[in-house]
Chain A
Amino acid sequence: MRRQVPLILCFLFGIVMMLVEFSPHPVSEGLRAEVIEWDLIIGPFALVIGVVTLVHTHWIRIRRRVEHWQYSYLVFIGMIVMVAFGLPMGPKNGGNELPKWLEWFKWFKGPENEVFVWFFDNVQVPMEATMFSLLAFFIASASYRAFRARTLEATLLLAAAVIVMIGNAPIGDVLWNELSPVGENIPSTARQWILDNPNLSSRRGIILGVSLGVISQSIRIIFGIERSYLGGGD
């Protein structure tokens, strides 16, 4: 029973939602909107689960004194500070309309909830930007390995990459037009040809395969053939 009910629900919702996709009738549209709303309702429960498991994980780390356990305190400090400033006085929580018992908090908040926004803009955003910027260095190291011309494929990749890079940089066309007597803007034309023909064809091949794979996987799930995601083998 524990597995049959989810399987029946999966089958019903799978078939109904697929049919709804092909029906513009207001009843279908309403059903779709309703199910999306149900999906949204799960969100807050997920948040509670997330917070509980995060607290549990880091509490265990501190209690067992595992390696670098001290950093778990930072998780708690960050969480408490952001919740303390965000929850009672967040922009989506009534703005300046605080209940009387929370009015003494106002001096923290300011008219535009500056403290919460300050923490977000000056702590979280720079840290995320730092991680994102690492990507530039990783692209360089990955490219170095990929473009070592050891095999025929790697050589082709290197040649295509060089053409695309030169075609992308405006100086490529300028130099070509100045130095070469043959044709105009050849680097950017060649770059566009590579992107529009071999590149796009391979991408479309992958997308077709993915689409068929998604349909196949969905059928397996809807008909209960693939059920390992429910836990257990059979």
Chain B
Amino acid sequence: MISKKLILFLFLLAVVFGPSCTIAIAQEAPADVDTRWFHTGKIWIFLSVVLFSCAIIFSIYRARGGGDIFIRRIAGLEAVDEAIGRSTEMGRPILYILGLGQVGDVATIASMNILGQVARKTADYETPLRVPCNDPIVLNVVREMVKAAYLDEGRPDAYSEDDIFFVTESQFAYAAAVDGMMVREKPAAVFLQGTFYAESLILAETGNSVGAIQIAGSDSDSQLPFFITACDYTLIGEELYAASAYLSREPMLLGSLKGQDYGKFLIFAGIVLGVILELVGITWVSTFFKEV
């Protein structure tokens, strides 16, 4: 669909350059140039993003004032201390796998945040922390993060840059390398946090076979069943994003979780209302969501 502004522009060009130019323009005019500054078809998505963002910002603002914020217990995150303690007692390393995501992926950033918290504890306990990376940029960010965590804990001497290393960008070569590490080094705890694809079960089953306590977390819903089957604890969906707040207990981060809960409550209320209205024969809710 050609906008009015574009048609006017083509007309003016035709007037200026004469009829011979008109044919050329008509042939080469772009088929679809949208000159609107706002896509009206996305208005409801925009409004829901704004509404949800406001709820989160409001919750963060409220959390700044202090007060107790209740967050439900997440078993997988409660087990982080247990996993690190086990590794320390057994004198074996902890293996932290960030998945195949790149540094711009939200799941990878969430995973790096958890790693930061884990690194603080391994620094305290002097437990070796091994992090094989499959992306060079992730590698450098992770090195900086872990180094800063060790510095913050007053243990810069315990930090070893060689323990955080690049393996390969190839999916199955990475899986093979990490599997080999598991079999040779027999880590007492394995963290699988981030974006995973078909290699998820290969890694989780190998970790299971060496007897490691495994804590997994992913936003890839197709890989979650594999993790639930093969790992001791699994962070499902949004629990991965809540982990950083949960572990650090910072009020502002916890406040954002509260805002997230408000969003979930709204969606849940919408679903219940929609089901009830559908049952009594009122269909405007389902029609609205189909059109959105």
Contact pattern, B 173-216, Cβ under 8 Å of A = 1, otherwise 0? 10110000000100000000000001101101100000000000
Counting chain B residues whose Cβ lies within 8 A of the other chain, the interface size class is: 35 or more
B109 close to A221 (CB less than 8 A): yes
Closest-by-CB residue of A relative to B32 is A24
Expressed in whole angstroms, the Cα–Cα distance for A218 and B52 within the complex equals 12
B236 close to A231 (CB less than 8 A): no
Contact (A213, B166) CB under 8 Å given A22-B42, A24-B39, A226-B244:
no
A51–chain B nearest beta-carbon distance, Å: 8
Q: Is A122 an interface residue (CB 8 A)?
A: no
Contact with B237, one of A135, A145, A213 (Cβ below 8 angstroms): A213
Contact (A215, B109) CB under 8 Å given A49-B139, A142-B226:
no
Q: Is A217 an interface residue (CB 8 A)?
A: yes
- Mostly, the A contact residues are helix
Contact (A60, B162) CB under 8 Å given A213-B240, A232-B148:
yes
User: A: which residues have CB within 8 A of B?
Assistant: 18, 21-26, 28, 39, 42, 46-47, 49-50, 53-54, 57, 60, 67-68, 124, 127-128, 131-132, 134-135, 138-139, 141-143, 145-146, 203, 206-210, 212-221, 223, 225-226, 228-233
Expressed in whole angstroms, the Cα–Cα distance for A57 and B228 within the complex equals 33
A132 close to B172 (CB less than 8 A): yes
- The 7 residue pairs across chains A and B that have the minimum distance between CB atoms: A213-B238, A213-B241, A50-B136, A131-B172, A231-B148, A209-B238, A24-B34
Q: Is B78 an interface residue (CB 8 A)?
A: no
Q: Which residues from 208 to 245 on chain B have a C-beta closer than 8 Å to any C-beta of chain A? A: 219, 221, 224, 226, 228-230, 236-238, 240-242, 244
- Mostly, the B contact residues are helix
A135 close to B260 (CB less than 8 A): no
Expressed in whole angstroms, the Cα–Cα distance for A220 and B104 within the complex equals 15
A145 close to B229 (CB less than 8 A): yes
Contact (A146, B56) CB under 8 Å given A42-B137, A213-B238:
no
